Amino acid sequence: MSAYRNMKGGWGLRPLKEVNVVHGLKLLWRIHSAHNSLWVRWVHCYLIRKGSLWSIKENTTSVSWVWRKLLKLRKLAKQFFKREVRNGKETSFWFDVWSPLGCLKDVLGERGYIAMGFSENAVMADVLGNHRRRRHMLSLLNEIENEIALLQADSSQEEDTPLWKQKEGKYASVFSSKKTWLHIRSTQQICEWSKGIWFTQSTPKYSFLFWVALRQRLKTYDRIQQWNGAVDATCVLCKVTNETCHHLFFSCDYSKQIWKALVGRILQRAFTTSWNELIEIISSARMPPTEQFLIRYAFQATVHALWRERNARRHGEQPQPATTLTKFVDKTIRLKLLSVKGLGHKYLEESLISWFATRE
């Protein structure tokens, strides 16, 4: 997920529209490369027939919805697909990209059939075996003649090789979903703080709540007051200041006491209760892996516990002292560290020892 985790929003999911496009391109690739596939053979027999995939009309209504969607992707596929001509039997002269000029049908248009003297369904094998060089008035046509002459000199009995773009200017005989997606995806602003949310061995419900808080979507009472000015926005944890996300985590005296008891000895001089500073700390990679994992997990577990305590008090439940909630979060962290200790990662094996070393 590292290729798309850090996009704007920090959610860590590829847009489904882009995923569908990549999978559609993969099907088009298979039609040209997987000749032993039963599905591909059926497509060539009943849908493509004697023509070329590139020449089929897009507005046909007698086929399936999926096939019509694939036909709409052909223009994009031409930016990735080309053929390396060997014996020329699988390569369309007009519609496949075999020349550096690109698709000759797009370059020359309808008059190209007359100018070059080849039919619409001509394949490179026919051209290489029967064509004699001609002189043309247009330099573009003479360039094509030069390319045909070069291929005639290097022709062989091997099958044509389908190629798919991997990087700019580089092609390979395999399809890469990841590299294709990187070409077509909409680039977004890098979201550095996502590293502090979606990390190995994080707890999903903690990570999700943290993500909601970072997106300023928690229903804290400063936001609720915008909809209903009559509500009491006072923080139920300290009963001093109005409730905001930054106040709850961890400017509030109640949450500050819990946070300091949990990580004060890990952060030492770097200890802070500022929301923005804490986001920077957990998003960076300046600390050793063990301490970094402890800080990230403790932060998320504490945020989750404080939000639950806040909601419980808002609904009239008995408030818990800060020491009780601290012990609860501490136990949660210890159970997590015990569960990941034997996974074979050194920083996880050392995490429980390091956590006990910071306890008073």
Q: What percent of the chain has pLDDT over 90?
A: 57
Question: What pLDDT digit, counting tens, does each position of 60-107 carry?
Answer: 776 788 999 999 999 999 999 999 998 888 899 999 999 999 999 889
pTM over 0.75: no
**pLDDT for residue 63:** 77
pLDDT at residue 12, rounded to an integer: 62
Q: According to the model, what pLDDT value does residue 1 have?
A: 40
CA dihedral 105, 126, 175, 17 (to 10 degrees): 30
Strand order in the sheet with 81-84: 81-84, 161-167, 170-172
- Reported residue count of the chain is 360
> Does residue 4 register a pLDDT over 50?
no
Are the CB atoms for 85 and 98 separated by under 8 Å?
yes
Strands (E), the chain: 81-84, 161-167, 170-172
- Give the pLDDT of residue 360: 65
Q: Give the pLDDT confidence score for residue 77 in this predicted structure.
A: 94
302: how many CB neighbours lie within 10 A of its CB? 25
- What are the structural domain ranges in the chain? 1-85+163-190, 86-159, 192-357
